[in-house]
Every structure is written in structure tokens, then in C-alpha cells.
Amino acid sequence: MTIGLLGFGVVGRGVYEIIASRQDMKIAQICCLEDPSLPDVRVTRDFQTIVRDETIDTVVEAMGGLHPAYEFVRAAMEAGKNIVTSNKALVAAFYDDLIPLAREKGLKFRCTAAVGGGIGWLSELERARRVQTICQVRGIMNGTCNYILDSMTRLGLGYDEALKQAQALGYAEARPATDVEGIDTWHKAILSSNIAFGVSVDREQVPVAGIHTITAADVAQFTAHGLVCKLMASGSRTEAGYSGCVQPTLVKEGSLEAAVPRNYNLITLEGAHSGPMSFYGQGAGRYPTAYNVVQDLVDVQLGKGFYTAEAKPVSVDNSRSLRWYVRGGWDGQIRERWGDGVITPEVSIAVMHSWRKAHPEAFIAALADQE
């Protein structure tokens, strides 16, 4: 296997280092804006040199972001090259374009490292759905948010202090909005649902709420009531089609989710035959992520294509009702008061997220005992 590598940041360097010890694959060219001195690989700033190189059969995209990653990946596919990527935003945004193009051209397209870093979650979904119907996917999919919430819960830190610690340790970006506002988890939830259920979810219909407005006082109330806050993604089959969202969720102390520490992930599938199966591990990092990129390259060598042959459009129905903790401007019915926040009677996911969209300064968290 001869590879063209797009990007030479954290993940790209990890892929390069792992492949360097293998005999069955080699990196022929790297496209990046830097100019690293590498003894065995040609480095270029011109992506077209990789497109034109007929010896390259597979492109690894490790640039991140939507543009120019999308344009580069699509051009590589038009040139007949297989794709392996760790870019969840790219695959979630252009799912209905890139996956059909891969099938049309008979190409392999893999993205296991895009969700769960080193866990191999999407490959586990692929295996599970071969022999059973998957009813639900859910879990903690973002290490940055989990580190912040874990530090606030265990160490009593405020949000700003916990975020600064995460940034100092390299778990959070200097501009952390994509993580803390739930967008990263949102991309992962959509991609997981598409593969688990063989559908194409309209991502604009999947609501998302992040953790950036949480306070130490909120966390103190949760602790006093035996609860732990986690940013959770969920997707479920329903009679109407599909229900899915990303939101802070209050889980009971002693539950699997409550125990997930630092920047780790825990993702669960509910199968018709297997029941719940949970997968735990590092959700990010150079070598955990690069490990699954190289696993995907091995799968390409073995002839594996995308994880599902189906991509049926599906209606999103978030009419399911939950109780909520809300702080900040709630004008609906109140079941009880927790400090500056309130617990609501049952309110549908759709209604609560619509309300929060009009009150972006508010903090909401679903109570998981009804899920």
C-alpha cells in the first residue's frame, strides 16, 4: 500500500511513526504547510502532486476542519484513491456526498478514528450490526468536556479554572468552543447514528447543548443530590424514525458514566440480541487516534469498504419527554428548586432545546433516570 498523507500535526505525525515500522505500507508523500525534514518521504505544499501520483492508492486525511479537507478528499476520490480519515466534522457534514461517491467509484472509505479516538467504536458498530438490530447508541464522546466536568465534580474547580487546566494539559484548544458547546460531540453522534441505523440523519434537526454555561454552584447541587453531570450524545430508533440529541445529562453516582475520569470516553450500543455493550478508552491523543487510522489502512488492504451499505433519509422525532435541571430564565412549570436552578416536570427534548436556543445564557441538563 502506497499512501499520501494530508496534514502533519498531532495525528499525522502519529500515523507516520506507526507506519515507519511496517513492511506492508509506506507513505510516499506528505502534504503540509510546514517543511519537516523526513528522510524517507517527499514533503509538498501542493496537494495536486498527490492527486497526480499514480503510485499512491490511498490518501490519509489528518488535516481536520471542513475546508480545504473536503476539496482535497473529493479530488483524491475522483482520482481513484481510497480514503482514511479521522475527521468527524468532514464526514458528518458531507456524508451524503462522499459515501455515495466512494460506492460509485468502488473505493474504500474508512473513518474509525473519527469517533472515540483509540476505542475503535465505529468498527464495533459495524460488527454488531452484521448480526443484530442496534436500538440505541449513547455515551461520552468528547474528552475535553469530560475532563472539565470531572475536574469540577472531583476537585471542586470552577468552569474557567477547569478549562485552563485542560488547555495546559493539551486536552482543550486555545479556542475551545467546538468542544465545550457540544459541536464535536454532535458530529460524532450524527456519524454514529448514521452507521448504527443505516440512515442519513439531517444534522440540522439534531439539537445540541454544551457545557460552557455550567457553574460550580450547579455542580454542587448535583453532588448534593447524588448526581454527576456528563455531556452525553444519544441516538435511538423510534416508531417515527429516529430520536437524537447532545446535551448535559445528570447520571447517578455509581453508574458507569459517572465513573469515567479525565479525558476518557465511554460509548454504549444497545443491541436487540446483545443488550448493552460499552466501549471505554482514550478519546483522543496522537497514538490512540493514529492507531485506529492504521487499523483502517489494514482494513482497506483487506478489502473493507464503508461500515454500512445503507443511507436512508430518516425523520427526526424528539418528542420524548424528560425532567430537566434548568438555571436561567425558565418560565415554565417547576417541580422543585435546587439552589439557583429548578427541576421541571416532563418536557419534550424538542421543546426544551427550542427554549434554550432562545435563552443561550441558560444551563440545562436532562435527568437520565428516565432514559
> Would you list the DSSP string of 64-97?
-SSTTHHHHHHHHHHTT-EEEE--HHHHHHTHHH
Which domains are present in the chain? 2-110 (3.40.50.720), 134-281+313-370 (3.30.360.10)
Q: What is the pLDDT of residues 51-75, one digit of tens each?
A: 999 999 999 999 999 999 999 999 9
Torsion of the alpha carbons at 255, 258, 260 and 262, rounded to the nearest 10 = -170
What mean pLDDT is predicted for residues 277-306? 95
Residue range 350-365: average pLDDT? 98
| Exposure class string for 122-133: b at 16+ Cβ within 10 A, else e | bbbbbebbeeee
Task: Place 366 in a pLDDT band, splitting at 50, 70 and 90.
Answer: very high
Assess whether 312 carries a catalytic annotation.
no
pLDDT value for 41: 85
CA dihedral 305, 307, 312, 313 (to 10 degrees): -110
Tell me how far apart the alpha carbons of residues 317 and 140 are, in angstroms, rounded to a whole number.
22
Q: Which helix (H) or strand (E) holds 180?
A: helix 177-180
User: Can you give the pLDDT at residue 371?
Assistant: 44
Q: What is the pLDDT of residues 8-42, one digit of tens each?
A: 999 999 999 999 999 999 999 999 977 777 888 89
Q: Which residue among 81, 188, 230, 304 is the active-site one?
A: 188
What's the confidence (pLDDT) of residue 58? 98
The arithmetic mean of pLDDT across residues 320-347, rounded, is 97
Which residues, in sequence order, are CB contacts of 245 under 8 Å at separation 6+? 189, 206, 207, 208, 233, 234, 318, 349, 353
Task: Print the SS3 string covering 149-167.
Answer: HHHHHHHCCCHHHHHHHHH
Beta strand 241-252 pairing with 227-238? antiparallel
Asked if pLDDT for residue 250 goes beyond 60, the answer is yes
The structure's pTM equals 0.95
Using alpha carbons, select from 222, 246, 225 the residue that is nearest to residue 145: 246
Mean pLDDT computed over 141-154:
97
